[in-house]
Amino acid sequence: MNVSISMVNLVLFWLSFLSLTSEAVPSYRFHICSNKTTFIPNSTYQSNLKDLLFSLSSNSTRENGFYNNTVGQNPETSVYGLFLCRGDLTPDACQDCVSTATNEIVQQYCPVEKVAMIWYDECMLRYSNRSIFSVMEDKPRKYLWNVLDITEPDRFLKLAQTTLSDLVPLAANASSGAKKFATKEVNFTVLQTMYSLVQCTPDLSSFDCNRCLREAITNVPTCCSGKQGGRVMYPSCTIRYEVSPFYQIQAVAPPVPAPAPPPIPLLLPHPPGKSGISWPIILTIVASLSVLALLAFSYYFLRRSTKKKYNSLPDKNGEKWRQYLNIYKLMQAWEHWSNGTALELLDPTLRDSYSRNEVNQCIHIALLCVQENPADRPTMANIILMLDSYSVTLKTPQQPAVFILSNTEPTIPT
Ligand SMILES: *[C@@H]1O[C@H](CO)[C@@H](O)[C@H](O)[C@H]1NC(C)=O
Ligand SMILES: *[C@@H]1O[C@H](CO)[C@@H](O)[C@H](O)[C@H]1NC(C)=O
Ligand SMILES: *[C@@H]1O[C@H](CO)[C@@H](O)[C@H](O)[C@H]1NC(C)=O
Ligand SMILES: *[C@@H]1O[C@H](CO)[C@@H](O)[C@H](O)[C@H]1NC(C)=O
Ligand SMILES: *[C@@H]1O[C@H](CO)[C@@H](O)[C@H](O)[C@H]1NC(C)=O
Ligand SMILES: *[C@@H]1O[C@H](CO)[C@@H](O)[C@H](O)[C@H]1NC(C)=O
Ligand SMILES: *[C@@H]1O[C@H](CO)[C@@H](O)[C@H](O)[C@H]1NC(C)=O
C-alpha cells in the first residue's frame, strides 16, 4: 500500500506540474536564415534590427494580428520587418508568440544574419535588408505533414483541396488591411472532421493573396498525400488542414457565434448502486497508468525544454531516438483512446480487473493533461474531481499535434 501511495503522489505531482504551468508557450516549427548575408556585430544594422524587433513586439496586440515596420534612415542599413499571427489568436496570445519570436530568432537561431524568417504554430516573423511589404513571395517555402496515416487517402486529399479552395475567396476578398484569414470544418467520416485554415499577410492585394493560396494548394498532393494533415507555408501565405482542431473555432465563427458542439460524454450513466470510482481501485489504476503518465511527462518536457523540431531522424541509439519512441507511444495511447481500445494499454494481467469505463476515464484524464493548449489542461482540483466521480463530463482531448517530418523547398519546383 505504501508503494501505491507514493506512486500516486508521484503521478499527482506530475499531473500538477503539467497543469500548473499554464503560460502559453508558442510552438516553434522552424526558421530560415542564410549565412551568406551577415551583419557585423555592433554595426548600425544590428542596432536597427534590435529597434525593429522591439517595435514589432510592442505593437503585437494590434487588432489584425499583423504589423510591419522599417528602421533606419540610410537604405544601406535599413531593416524591414513584419509579423503575422494566426487569425484566431487573441491579442494576448499573439503578443506571447511575437515576443518569443523576437527573442529567439536573434538569440538562438539567426544571431548575425541580415535576412531571417521564423515560424511557430501561432505566428510568423521575418525581416530583411530590402523591402518585403506588399510583395507576394512564395519562397523559401516549407511543407509539414502529420505523421499519422489517413484512411481513404484519395477522398481525404480531394476533400482537403476542395475545402481549402473554397476558403480562398473568403480570405482574399477581405478588405484592404483587414485579416486575410478563413477556416472551415467539414465532415470526412461520421467520426472524423477535417479542420482547415488559409491565411495571407494583410499587406497583400486580393489578387496576390488569391494567387499565393492557390499556388500553395497545388502542393498539397506532393507534400501531404496519405497523411492526416498537412501544411504549406510561404512567406506570404499559409494553408493547413488536420483531423483535429488546431485553431479556436468560436473565435473565427461568423458574426452570430455558433454554439460550440457539446463535448462528447466519455462515460455512460452511473452504474447502479455506485456513485463513483472507489479510491482503492483508483490507486491501482493510477499505478498501472504511471507508465502513461511518464510518457506524457516526457513528451511535455521534451516540448518545453527543447522546443526543437526534429527535422531529421536521429541515431537509433541516442537520447533523441528514445524521445521519439516516447512520442510514438503517446500517439499510440491517443489512438487507442480514440478507437475505444484503451484497455489494450494496460498490463494484460490487470485488464480483467477493471471496467472499460474506468480505464478510459483515467487515460482520458492523462491525455487532457498533455493538451497543446494550456487552457485545455485540467487543474489539479478538476483531476481529483474527475477521478472521483462519474458525473463530470470530460472535454474531448485533441490528438497531440506531433509533426516530425517536414521538408523545405527554397526554390519553386519545376
Ligand atoms: C554557412 O553555412 C554552411 C552550411 O551550413 C557552412 O558550411 C558554412 O561554413 C557557413 N559559412 C559561414 C561563413 O559561417
Ligand atoms: C559590442 O559592444 C559590446 C558592448 O557595447 C562590447 O562588450 C563588445 O565587445 C562589442 N563587440 C564587438 C565585436 O565589437
Ligand atoms: C508601434 O508602432 C508605431 C507606429 O509604427 C510606432 O510609432 C511605435 O513606436 C511602435 N510602438 C513601440 C512601443 O515601439
Ligand atoms: C508597411 O507596409 C506598407 C505596405 O503594405 C508600406 O506602405 C508601409 O510603408 C510599411 N510601413 C513601414 C513603417 O515600413
Ligand atoms: C542586402 O545585403 C546583401 C549582403 O550584405 C547585399 O548584397 C544586398 O545588396 C543588400 N540588399 C539591399 C537591398 O541593400
Ligand atoms: C471577390 O469577390 C468578387 C465578388 O464579390 C468576386 O467576383 C471575386 O472573384 C472575388 N475575388 C476573389 C479573389 O475571389
Ligand atoms: C457533420 O456531422 C455532424 C454529426 O454527424 C452533423 O451534425 C453535422 O450537421 C454535419 N455537418 C455537415 C456540414 O454536414
Q: Tell me the average pLDDT across 333-339.
A: 66
Q: Hey, do 2-128 and 149-242 end up sharing a CATH topology, with the first three levels equal?
A: yes
Report how far residue 11's alpha carbon sits from residue 14's, in angstroms, rounded to the nearest whole number. 5
Distance 111 CA to ligand 2 centre (A): 14
Q: Where are the domains of the chain?
A: 2-128, 149-242, 279-411
| Residue 258 pLDDT grade (very low, low, confident, very high; cuts 50, 70, 90) | very low
**How confident is the model over 386-400, as pLDDT tens digits?**
655 544 555 666 665
263 cis-preceded (ω within 30 degrees of 0):
no
More reliable by pLDDT, 133 or 365: 133
Task: For residue range 184-240, list pLDDT tens digits in order.
Answer: 999 999 999 999 999 999 999 999 999 999 999 999 999 999 999 999 999 999 999
* Cβ of 187 below 6 Å from ligand 7: yes
For the cut 50, the answer to whether the pLDDT of residue 114 exceeds it is yes
Mean pLDDT of 144-148: 93
- Kindly identify the ligand whose nearest atom is closest to the C-alpha of 259: 7
- Fold type of domain 149-242: Killer Toxin P4; Chain A (3.30.430)
- Region 103-113: mean pLDDT is 96
* Residues of the chain above pLDDT 70, percent: 56
186, 187, 396, best to mutate for ligand 7 pocket (most atoms within 8 Å of CB): 187
Higher pLDDT, 259 or 207: 207
Q: Does the pLDDT at position 5 exceed 50?
A: no
Å from CA of 45 to ligand 2 middle:
14
The CATH number of the structural domain formed by 2-128 is 3.30.430.20
The pLDDT tens digits of the residues spanning 126-136 come to: 999 999 999 99
pLDDT at residue 361 is higher than 90: no
Residue 357: its pLDDT value, please? Answer: 62
Beta-sheet strands, E only, within 180-314: 180-187, 193-200, 230-233, 237-242
The full DSSP string for 391-403 is: SPPPPPPPPP---
Instruction: Note the pLDDT tens digit of each residue in 71-86.
Output: 999 999 999 999 999 9
User: Order of strands, edge to edge, in the sheet holding 28-33?
Assistant: 28-33, 116-120, 123-128, 79-85, 66-71
C-beta atoms surrounding 209 within 10 Å: 26
CA 322 to chain centre: 22
Is the pLDDT assigned to residue 180 strictly greater than 90?
yes
- Ligand that comes closest to the CA of residue 46: 2
- The Cα–Cα gap between 62 and 88 comes to 13
pLDDT band per the 50, 70, 90 thresholds, residue 288 = low
Distances in whole angstroms, Cα of residue 74 to Cα of each of 44, 45, 48, 331, 338:
10, 10, 11, 52, 58
CB 342 within 8 A of CB 336: yes
